[in-house]
Amino acid sequence: MVNTKINLLNTVIDNPVIPASGTFGFGYEFAELYDINILGTFSFKGTTKESRFGNPTPRIAECKSGMINSVGLQNPGVEKVINEELPKLKKVFNKPVMANVSGFSLDEYAYTCEKIDACEQVAWIEVNVSCPNVHNGGMAFGTSPESAAKVVKAVKAVTSKPIIIKLSPNVTDIVTIAKACEDAGADGISLINTLLGMRIDIKTRKPVIANKMGGFSGDAVFPVALRMVYQVYEAVKIPVIGMGGVSGVNDVIEMMLAGASAVQIGAANLVNPFICKEIIERLPGKLEELKINDINEIIGGAH
């Protein structure tokens, strides 16, 4: 019998397959399609202090081997997430869940993380540092080691649960930023978020996305994501969660060989809502085929 269980920051989960934030809502939508309790866990929709309507439409553009989105963190705000969304989730999901938090200032990150930290259902807090810092000219927190470290310190000061920092790939040196997060007290690193991309309508001669640019995700980004996971695994001692273009069981194994302790599936959920279920069902057979008895053996196996 192949072991697919992993210990993710002191919580044992049945397998390393985790739907990524923004592609799985608050879970109960997918629970209408299959029993989502087969998942290791999932990262719920990015949550901010206040409710957000998101960016103007159109905010989705199809691409070869992927998609661009500029949804803009549309969510009901942390109070409604805690009082309405999580109770609805509890009816269909009996495992600990991963919260995903965004903010536009250090105070917002700290406020939202402190509120989420008190939720019994939440085992891990994934902090998205790809947001623009409104007090620093709009540059994303995750594009400099100093800014990313400040976010880590701000949220660690008000939380007791493991903090996983989700990094942007839109940087020249992902390793320096990951190390700065580790040094500031982060418990784990999650990567990658989307790459910046755009499409232009050749008839109107205007960008397809109302915001002109958005986050590019899907199959095409997998080699970039894999490279960054590999680099960060070599540089830090804390767990790495890999994501970016993962759409099949082989991708999950490849990500783990690069150094991921767990693997998130994002855009593929929007193409095939059953993809996580299919990967979880195929995983034991694929491990047996590769003569792997315990999935933990392959973490970082390519180094």
Which are the catalytic amino acids? 131
Which CB contacts under 8 angstroms, 24+ apart, belong to 28-31?
28/88, 28/89, 28/91, 28/92, 28/93, 30/269, 30/273, 31/92, 31/93
The phi and psi torsions of 193 (rounded to 5 degrees) equal -80, -175
Measured CA to CA, the distance from residue 222 to residue 226 in angstroms comes to 6
Measured CA to CA, the distance from residue 99 to residue 60 in angstroms comes to 24
Q: Which residues pair with 125 in a beta bridge?
A: 99, 163
Helix axes 275-289, 249-258, angle to 10 degrees: 70
Q: Which of 294, 296, 262 is nearest to 276 (CA)?
A: 262
User: Is residue 98 within 8 Å of 18, Cβ to Cβ?
Assistant: yes
Measured CA to CA, the distance from residue 231 to residue 113 in angstroms comes to 28
Strand 66-69 and strand 97-101: pairing? unpaired
| CA distances in angstroms from 227 to 60, 118, 123, listed in the order given | 26, 35, 28
